[in-house]
Amino acid sequence: MLPPILWGGYLRTEVQTAHATSTQPQLTLTDSPQSTARARTLVLVGVLDARAAGTLARQVRKKLPAKKSKLILDLTGVTAIDNAGTATLVDLWRLGHARHFAVELTGVQPAVLTALKQFHVTVALPKPVVVPGFFEDFGTGVWGAIEALGRFTVLASDTTVGAVQSLFTPGRMRWAAYFRESSLMGSQALGIVGLITFLIGLTLAFQSAYQLRQFGAAIYVAALTAISMVREMGPLITAILVAGRSGSSITSEVATMKVGEEIDAMQVMGIPFVDFIAVPKVLAMVTMVPLLTILADFLGILGGWIVGMVYLDIAPKPYLQKTIDALVTKDLVTGLFKSVVFAWGIALIGLYHGAGVRGGAQEVGKATTASVVSAIFFIIVADSIFSIIFYVVMA
């Protein structure tokens, strides 16, 4: 870079970032919408060369702000600048200091920035992007989880109270919607739930028999299969299947209504979301999942019974008697109680993710995926907690 020289009353530096030609657009100067009473922003667009320098100086002098305020020149849209343009910027900056108002330059090209620094011109550099560290990310995640838990708690409490009130308040419950949802969640899920749990019963019996036959205790396959299905596998597998089938359906339906502004329209008309949408779905889910669990228990035991007769040569009557002897009322009650809690959680998680959608069709898909994952996570965690409570603490 050559040293600065005095020429024509302006300081010129031999810095050339681009050559202005007649084909390039002339310089234009406009007020930015971001201008305020304390800080006026002028946006420069085009070529800042020797021809435009004088015009720029005159236009800026007409727009000078009051004392103790700020003038911001945004150079982001400047496509080319030469020595005269650089000198004009220096002159305007010095004029501001002489008249007691600040002149700040933004969007300056790197080569011009080097020249301006020789004259100690204040240039607003872009703020460096600060990459959050581990603790910032962790804190942000924890705070977001706390806020999400708060919103979910509000929805869960409102829906639960609304469901209880609907059962005891004549005319408040939408029974047509309840029976429609029950059909979708219950009767139309019989096939998939029955097939999967029957195969799981077969698998449990085969795996148990592989070990028990070595000790001549094949008859205990009946007890092991029955207890496993009624206590754990029946409620657990049923809830996971319902979460993937009906939980995702709830989320996608509510999310589509949210994107289509149907929920907002309901609120404008004074129709409560909880009573009109949430309560029928939650009650249908809480009713149907325990019934599906009973079916799953029966078909799982049936699968084990078939393995006992065909593979283990156990007579039907002794197998059934061993199954009845192994099961107690506590096993069935705890299994059904878990299924009710699973159903309650699946429905509320689906409603929460659906009602929280912001955006278009892509966000609906993301919400549906998040709903299924969250519901399955809830089911596994809740089942682990129940296992500790029922079979360790209350043993």
Q: Per-residue confidence at 52, pLDDT binned at 50, 70, 90?
A: confident
pLDDT per position as a tens digit, 82-135: 777 778 877 877 777 777 677 777 777 776 676 666 666 666 555 556 677 788
Return the closest-CA partner of residue 292 out of 378, 194, 386.
Answer: 194
Return the closest-CA partner of residue 220 out of 333, 321, 334.
Answer: 321
Whose tokens are 């009713």? That residue is 287
pLDDT greater than 90 at residue 368: yes
Q: Per-residue confidence at 22, pLDDT binned at 50, 70, 90?
A: very low
pLDDT greater than 70 at residue 28: no
Greater confidence (78 vs 220) lies with 220
The predicted pLDDT at position 395 comes to 61
Q: Where are the domains of the chain?
A: 5-124, 150-393
pLDDT greater than 90 at residue 70: no
The predicted pLDDT at position 127 comes to 58
pLDDT greater than 70 at residue 193: yes
The predicted pLDDT at position 11 comes to 37
pLDDT greater than 50 at residue 18: no
Q: In whole angstroms, what separates CA 218 from the centre of its chain? A: 50
pLDDT greater than 90 at residue 374: yes
Helix (H, G, I), strand (E, B) or coil at 80: strand
pLDDT greater than 70 at residue 273: yes
pLDDT per position as a tens digit, 168-181: 887 888 889 999 99
Sheet arrangement for strand 102-106? 28-31, 39-48, 70-81, 102-106, 123-124
Structure tokens at 66: 């009051």
Rounded percentage of the chain residues whose pLDDT exceeds 90: 40
Per DSSP, helices labelled H in the chain are: 50-62, 83-98, 110-117, 134-168, 175-185, 190-212, 221-227, 234-242, 248-259, 262-268, 273, 279-310, 316-326, 329-355, 361-388
The predicted pLDDT at position 285 comes to 95
CA distances, 84 to each of 7, 23, 26, 191 (Å): 10, 19, 15, 82
Q: Tell me the β-bridge partners of 10.
A: 7
The predicted pLDDT at position 196 comes to 95
pLDDT per position as a tens digit, 213-247: 888 888 889 999 999 999 999 999 999 999 999 99
pLDDT greater than 60 at residue 155: yes
Return the closest-CA partner of residue 275 out of 354, 131, 180, 165.
Answer: 165
| 5-124: CATH, from 3.30.460.10, 3.30.70.3040, 3.30.750.24, 3.40.50.300 | 3.30.750.24
Angle (deg, nearest 10), helices 279-310 and 316-326: 140
CA distances, 320 to each of 116, 310, 324 (Å): 93, 14, 6
Rounded percentage of the chain residues whose pLDDT exceeds 70: 83
340 burial class (0-12, 13-18, 19+ CB within 10 angstroms)? middle
The overall average pLDDT reported for the chain is: 82
CA distances, 267 to each of 94, 262, 349 (Å): 59, 9, 21
24's CB contacts (< 8 A; 6+ apart) are 46, 47, 79, 80
The predicted pLDDT at position 378 comes to 95
Residue 192 contacts residue 240 (beta carbons within 8 Å): no
Q: Per-residue confidence at 46, pLDDT binned at 50, 70, 90?
A: confident
Angle (deg, nearest 10), helices 279-310 and 234-242: 130
Q: Per-residue confidence at 10, pLDDT binned at 50, 70, 90?
A: very low
CA distances, 165 to each of 1, 152, 275, 340 (Å): 82, 20, 10, 18
pLDDT greater than 80 at residue 326: yes
pLDDT greater than 50 at residue 21: no
